[in-house]
Amino acid sequence: MVRALREAAAYEPCGERSHDDGWGILIARLDGSAALHHRSTRPIFSSGSDPESVIPGWAAVAPVVLMAHARKASEGTPVDLASAHPVHASSAWGDLYIVHIYIVHNGSFDRGKLDGLIGEAAPHSDTWAAAVALASRIRGGISRLDLEWLLGAERTGANLGIALLGAAAGPQVIVGSHYRLRGDASDPDLERYYRLYECASDGGVIYASSTVVELHMGTRGCRALGNGEFHSRARGLGVWNLLSLT
C-alpha cells in the first residue's frame, strides 16, 4: 500500500500534478505498546525518501493501525513538518489520560472558521488547525456530534482518516468521505477525485484514495464509499459503525 502511495503521489491524473509537499506515516500497535510517527517535507517519491524503510519490524507481527499520506499543499499554506500528514494534536482528558489525535485529510477547511474554533490564527495548515480543534473538544472518544461539528468548517472537501490513541477505551479510527458538489459538469471529476475505497486485506482492511486504488492496487475486493459515509471503529477496533452524514 505504501509503495502504491509513493507511485500515485508522483502523478495525480485528476489534478495533473504531483503531491510533492511532504509525506508522513503513523503506525501504532493496537495494544498501545509501540508507535511510530514519521514525517518529512520532502516528496515521498524523491530519491532521498524510502517510506517502506521507515516501517518497523514489529508492525509485521502484531495488529496495527497504519496511516500514510502524501501532501499537496493548498496555495498559501506553509510546507513544514507540523503541516505534514498525519498531523498531530494532543489533549488532556481528566487527570489520568492524554489522548493523541492523528489526521490525514484531502480537501480543505475554511481557515477563518477553524481560527474561530481554536481561538487563534493557525500558524500551520488547515488540517493542523482541524486536529487542534478536535482535540480541544473530545472527551475520551470521537462521537458523531464531534465529527459533524468539525465538518461544519469544511470548505471544499473533507476526506478524513482520524486515529485516536491513548484513550481509556482503547484506540479509535474514523475513515470517511465528504465533499461538496457544484451542480455542474465538473461534478463527475470531483466525485472521482474524492472517491475513497474500502478494500479487503489479509487480516484487516485498507482505506485508500481513488488514485491509489484504481491506478496502482486494482478495485477487486474494494467498495467505493458514498459521499458522507464514515466508518468508525473503537473499543479495541472490534466493530465498525456506519455514520451517514449526507
Contact 163, 172 (CB under 8 A): yes
Helix 126-137 crosses helix 144-151 at what angle (to 10 degrees)? Answer: 150
Which pLDDT does position 36 carry in this prediction? Answer: 94
Give residue 240's identity as a one-letter amino acid code: W
List pLDDT tens digits, range 153-202: 998 889 999 999 987 777 899 999 998 888 888 888 888 889 999 998 87
Give residue 181's identity as a one-letter amino acid code: L
Q: 2-244: which CATH topology?
A: Glutamine Phosphoribosylpyrophosphate, subunit 1, domain 1 (3.60.20)
What is the domain partition of the chain in residue ranges? 2-244
H or E element at residue 190: helix 187-194
Q: How far is it, in rounded angstroms, from Cα 39 to Cα 84?
A: 6
Q: How far is it, in rounded angstroms, from Cα 205 to Cα 194?
A: 19
Strand partners, 107: 158
Query: What average pLDDT does range 38-64 have in this prediction?
Result: 85
Which pLDDT does position 112 carry in this prediction? Answer: 87
Mean pLDDT of the chain: 84
% residues pLDDT > 70 (the chain): 90
Rg over alpha carbons for the chain, rounded to the nearest Å, is 17
pTM of the entire predicted model: 0.89
In degrees, rounded to 5, the angle at the alpha carbon of residue 67 between the alpha carbons of residues 3 and 156 is 100
Strand partners, 179: 157
H or E element at residue 5: helix 2-9
Which pLDDT does position 14 carry in this prediction? Answer: 58
List pLDDT tens digits, range 106-140: 988 888 888 888 777 777 888 998 999 998 888 77
Q: How far is it, in rounded angstroms, from Cα 1 to Cα 66?
A: 10
Query: What average pLDDT does range 202-218 have in this prediction?
Result: 85
